[in-house]
Amino acid sequence: MENQTQVLEPKIITKKERLSGAEAVIRSLLEEGATLGYGYPGGAIMPVYDEIYKYQDQFTHILTRHEQGAIHAAQGFARVTGETGVVFATSGPGATNLVTGIADAQIDSTPLVCITGQVASHLLGTDAFQETDIIGISTPITKWNYQVTKAEEIPSVIAKAFFIANSGRPGPVLIDITKDAQMGSLDFSYEKCKGIRSYVPKPEMKINQVKAAAELINNAKKPFIVMGQGVIIGEAEKELKDFIEKAGIPTASTALGLSGLETNHPLHVGMVGMHGHYAPNIKTNDCDVFIAIGMRFDDRVTGDLSRYAKQAKVIHFEIDPAEVDKNVKTDVAVLGDVKETLTALLPLINNATHTKWHQEFKDLYAIEYDKVIKPQLEPNKIGLTMGEVIEGINKETSGEAVIVSDVGQHQMFACRYAKFTNTRSQVTSGGLGTMGFALPAAIGAKMGAPDREVIAIIGDGGYQMNIQELGTIFQTKTPVKIVVLNNSFLGMVRQWQELFFDKRYASTEMVNPDFVKIAAGYDIKANKVSKRENLRAAIREMVASNESYFLEVVIEKEGNVFPMVPTGAAVSECRLS
Amino acid sequence: MEENKTYTISVYTENNLGLMNRISGIFLKRHINLESITASQSEIKGVTRFLFVIKLSEDKVRKLVGQIEKQIEVIKAYYHTDEETIYQESALYKIATDLLFDDRQIQNIIKNSNANIVTVAKDYFVIEKTGRRKETEQLYNELTPYGIKQFVRSGRISVSKEAMNISNTLQNFNY
């Protein structure tokens, strides 16, 4: 069967040139405005790399130290820019090493185009050297994938790939190109994809849905908003702010929605979820109208679904129809692009302040501050806490930095304590929870936002999962800042072992190497602090550096992240200790 | 818990490589077993129609259909109860030829079940029966004492009573 997807024929016939398939790959990327890619060469993708070499004045290729590093770097780039990240890998192990990143991008809706080399088409299915069925492997974790076996397919398939990756709800696309297709030739002309008949990127806004939502909101006494990454992806930060300010609604964020609204906004009431803030978790089960905007009710957000916001009317602003009623039954679904739907909503909303309702959030925050936040920020124990490190970074960067976090306790501390003033400042692996994400993602984030301070915050476990990417930093001289919060434990798993497995610390204690020496080997400036009195100065020195910088902070060994909604509990059963 | 029922999921797709894998993966991810699968050309040129039969609660079927429809090359997906469709299955039974002539009863079974003899060879003959599951099963049971050399039944094929309007969906695509 051929590719019969109906794409409209190009209306403008551009001048044709005879190119190789491999050259057409690079030319197509340039046509899409992609001038940066991450990857790792190998046999089946060598023709493409040969063209990368020839086009090096127009197209920059970053050689990572592992394909997983390449794809996480592309994710970091995509998350701070909103542009599509580009990844190259060879067939077989090159392609399979992308799998974790593809799955991560799929669940966190990150636009990527991954180009993998494949054995020559006559060898397909023969168990040839470095042959793997990456189309079969990647199918459940890609928004779309396609195997190219003929050179002439390349321009139209890459055009489709970019269109699919970064329209509607974004996601990763994988294009597998056989070596003979790379080496074959074609008459090259390029037309951007404008539509695919079987694909509706965003449902058309229905004004009746918006009106129904407005009515519920206007009649609410205790309205509550949870915003997700959809607000950032949909570039609706301003529309969201206009709406919440007019309606006076307390607004919380999911982990991935953070930075879509500045942390110090008076209506921002923190993060929801397992390690979210106390007030928004408690108030989820007390509000009368729950307004979800561009979020998908992940289980880490909702806890026990049967006891989640049951008292409330639920409004869901969402671009992906499959998300509506998936986990939480909605009363009003407002389908469409959130920028359009919020714009349509604004004039229908009455001015309100909900002062008393707001005070209830403040009262709960005061409890959380006393029991959890103050002991983190002003500890009266010797060991350093993760919270005070994040707070130090807030102070030294004035909340202007892009924070790239890995997965585990430090991630939750980063989400809870980091102060964001700009959107697209929070890059983390939320849905998949990929340890090893942050170091390469920070490289991509820095390349995507070269004028911004980019700080990777990583645990000692996750750091060692992709530590080889220090080599990429060394070679490219990318000035990322790396903070490793070292408690010599896989801290989050240890916390669960402490709380739910009678402190049987099975395989969570880590004997770590000298991280400062390792950084030195890569010629990265490095420092290590273990005393409170040295912390701020160390952070200051790191932020002041124009080059990459590694800071290891020795953290108390057995610190825990609280509040916590234990698995199976309702969000309102949020524990403070 | 909502009650499980038999549903037929109809999926109209582009005729592209790998789509079967992509759609069946949606069932696999949710640990859902399929009763039957059929794929064929649909009423529209170049558009494939998949039919999946599953036993599930309506809530789960609705979510599944949403996930299926979300796939790029899926044009539209629907689900229907048995009452909302006209459906059939087809079965083939291969039996030794001598029985056909030596045992008058077999001829009666074939006649009474409205089955057709597809072919008669020297050693075997093949009966075809199209109908509901009950009917093909009944014929199977009746023929079993005579020795069925081979038996195969197709997946369900069905058309919905309501209009599906795929052509309209496709016509509305204009860029």
What does the H/E/C string look like for chain B? CCCCEEEEEEEEEECCCCHHHHHHHHHHHCCCCCCEEEEEECCCCCEEEEEEEEEECHHHHHHHHHHHHCCCCEEEEEEEEHHHEEEEEEEEEEEEHHHHHHCHHHHHHHHHCCCEEEEECCCEEEEEEEECHHHHHHHHHHHHHHCEEEEEECCCEEEECCCCCHHHHHHCCCC
The CATH number of the domain holding residue B46 is: 3.30.70.260
Domain that holds residue B18: 5-85
- Please compute, for residue B86, the number of CA atoms within 13 A of its CA located in the half-sphere on the CB side: 5
Q: Which of B65, B85, B105 is the last residue of a domain?
A: B85
Query: Inter-chain contact B73–A199, Cβ cutoff 8 Å?
Result: yes
B66 interaction partners in chain A (CB closer than 8 Å): 321-322, 324, 326
Asked if B9 and B55 sit in the same domain, the reply is yes
Asked if B48 and B105 sit in the same domain, the reply is no
Rounded CA gap, A4 and B45, in Å? 11
Rounded CA gap, A480 and A466, in Å? 15
Count Cβ atoms below 10 Å from residue A24 Cβ, excluding itself.
Answer: 30
What pLDDT, on a 0 to 100 scale, did the predictor assign at position B171? 77
Q: Which amino acid is at A476?
A: T
Assigned domain for A195 exists: no
Assigned domain for A570 exists: no
Using a CB–CB cutoff of 8 Å, tell me whether B18 touches chain A: yes
Assigned domain for B10 exists: yes
Does residue A2 surpass a pLDDT of 70?
no
B69 interaction partners in chain A (CB closer than 8 Å): 321-322
Asked if B75 and B99 sit in the same domain, the reply is no
Asked if B27 and B79 sit in the same domain, the reply is yes
Does residue A10 surpass a pLDDT of 80?
no
Assigned domain for A576 exists: no
Rounded CA gap, A227 and A225, in Å? 6
The CATH number of the domain holding residue A498 is: 3.40.50.970
DSSP state at residue A371: I
How long, in residues, is chain A? 577
Percentage with pLDDT > 90 across chain B:
82
Assigned domain for B174 exists: no
What pLDDT, on a 0 to 100 scale, did the predictor assign at position A278? 98
Query: Inter-chain contact A320–B69, Cβ cutoff 8 Å?
Result: no
The CATH number of the domain holding residue B111 is: 3.30.70.1150
- Please compute, for residue A262, the number of CA atoms within 13 A of its CA located in the half-sphere on the CB side: 12
Q: Return the residue in A198, A320, A326 with the most chain B beta carbons within 10 A, the one to mutate for interface testing.
A: A198
Asked if A461 and A522 sit in the same domain, the reply is yes
Place of tokens 């979300």: B70
Query: Inter-chain contact A197–B66, Cβ cutoff 8 Å?
Result: no
Assigned domain for B67 exists: yes
Asked if A174 and A41 sit in the same domain, the reply is yes
Nearest to A139 among B21, B67, B70 (CB): B21
Count Cβ atoms below 10 Å from residue A116 Cβ, excluding itself.
Answer: 30
Query: Inter-chain contact B73–A136, Cβ cutoff 8 Å?
Result: no
Query: Inter-chain contact A4–B29, Cβ cutoff 8 Å?
Result: no
Touching A: B residues 31-90, CB under 8 Å: 46, 62-63, 66-67, 69-70, 72-75
Angstroms from A103 CA to nearest CA on chain B: 13
Q: What phi and psi values does residue B151 have, to the nearest 5 degrees?
A: -140, 140
8 Å CB contact between A421 and A398: yes
Which of A471, A503, A508 minimizes the C-alpha distance to A487? A508
Assigned domain for B159 exists: no
The arithmetic mean of pLDDT across residues A116-129, rounded, is 98
Asked if B92 and B130 sit in the same domain, the reply is yes
Map residue A18 onto helix, strand or coil. strand
Asked if A40 and A183 sit in the same domain, the reply is yes
pLDDT tens digits along A198-216: 999 999 999 999 999 999 9
Q: Which of B85, B113, B136 is the last residue of a domain?
A: B85
Assigned domain for A3 exists: no
Does residue A3 surpass a pLDDT of 70?
no
The arithmetic mean of pLDDT across residues A174-180, rounded, is 98
The DSSP element (H or E) to which A177 belongs, if any, is strand A172-178
Asked if A307 and A417 sit in the same domain, the reply is no
Query: Inter-chain contact A325–B63, Cβ cutoff 8 Å?
Result: yes
- Residue in chain A lying closest to B17 (CA): A1
Q: Which amino acid is at A19?
A: L
Q: Which two tokens stand for residue A29?
A: 């990327």
What pLDDT, on a 0 to 100 scale, did the predictor assign at position A518? 98
Q: Which two tokens stand for residue B77?
A: 């997906």
What pLDDT, on a 0 to 100 scale, did the predictor assign at position A1? 43
Number of domains in chain B: 2
Rounded CA gap, A324 and A322, in Å? 6
The arithmetic mean of pLDDT across residues B52-81, rounded, is 97
Which of B155, B10, B4 minimizes the C-alpha distance to B74? B10
Predicted confidence band at A346 (pLDDT cuts at 50, 70, 90)? Answer: very high
Does residue B175 surpass a pLDDT of 70?
no
Which of A230, A233, A223 minimizes the C-alpha distance to A253? A230
Assigned domain for A495 exists: yes
Asked if B75 and B9 sit in the same domain, the reply is yes
Asked if A176 and A278 sit in the same domain, the reply is no
Percentage with pLDDT > 70 across chain A:
97
Burial of A204 (0-12, 13-18, 19+ CB in 10 A): exposed
Of A31-35, B102-106, B144-148, B154-158, the range with the lowest mean pLDDT is B102-106
Asked if B28 and B77 sit in the same domain, the reply is yes
Q: Return the residue in A12, A146, A191, A197 with the most chain B beta carbons within 10 A, the one to mutate for interface testing.
A: A197
Does residue A4 surpass a pLDDT of 60?
no
Question: Which residues of A are identified as catalytic?
Answer: 67, 129-130, 179, 492
The arithmetic mean of pLDDT across residues A524-549, rounded, is 98
Assigned domain for B91 exists: yes
Rounded CA gap, B20 and B51, in Å? 11
What pLDDT, on a 0 to 100 scale, did the predictor assign at position B169? 77
Asked if A351 and A405 sit in the same domain, the reply is no
Map residue A493 onto helix, strand or coil. helix
The arithmetic mean of pLDDT across residues A457-461, rounded, is 98
Domain that holds residue A242: 207-361
Q: Return the residue in B49, B60, B72 with the most chain A beta carbons within 10 A, the one to mutate for interface testing.
A: B72
Rounded CA gap, A508 and A495, in Å? 10
8 Å CB contact between A456 and A481: yes
Nearest to A320 among B14, B21, B70 (CB): B70
Asked if A171 and A211 sit in the same domain, the reply is no
Q: Say whether pTM exceeds 0.80.
A: yes
Count Cβ atoms below 10 Å from residue A191 Cβ, excluding itself.
Answer: 17
Which of B74, B18, B69 minimizes the C-alpha distance to B42? B74
Burial of B122 (0-12, 13-18, 19+ CB in 10 A): exposed
